Amino acid sequence: MRLVFLGPPGAGKGTQAMQQAEQRGLRYIATGDELRKAIAAGTPLGLQAKAYTSTGRLVPDEVIIGLARELLEQPGAEAGVIFDGFPRTIGQAEALDALLRERGEALDAVLYFDVSSDAVVKRLSGRRVCRQCGATFHVESLPSQRGDVCDRCGGALYQREDDRAETVSRRLQVYQEQTAALLDYYRAQGLLVRLQADRSIAEVRAAVNAAIEATARRRAPKAAATGQGSA
69 flagged as catalytic: no
CATH of the domain at 146: 3.40.50.300
The residue annotated as part of the active site, out of 2, 27, 123, 127, is 127
In a domain, 123, yes or no: yes
Q: Which of 160, 170, 218, 222 is catalytic?
A: 160
What confidence score (pLDDT) does residue 230 get? 41
Instruction: Tell me whether residue 94 is in a domain.
Output: yes
Annotated catalytic residue within 13, 27, 123, 128:
13
**Burial tier of 181 (Cβ tally within 10 Å: 0-12, 13-18, 19+):** exposed
Q: pLDDT tens digits for 78-112?
A: 889 999 989 988 999 999 999 999 999 999 999 99
Q: Are 85 and 110 in contact (CB under 8 A)?
A: no
Range of the domain at 26: 2-226
pLDDT tier at 193, thresholds 50, 70, 90: very high
State pLDDT tens for residues 134-190.
898 999 888 999 999 999 999 999 998 888 998 888 888 888 888 889 999 999 999
Q: Write down the pTM of the prediction.
A: 0.82
Domain assignment of residue 231, yes or no: no
Q: What angle do CA 172, 178, 179 make, to 5 degrees?
A: 90
For the chain, what is the domain count?
Answer: 1
Please identify which of the residues 27, 88, 123, 128 carries the catalytic annotation.
Answer: 88
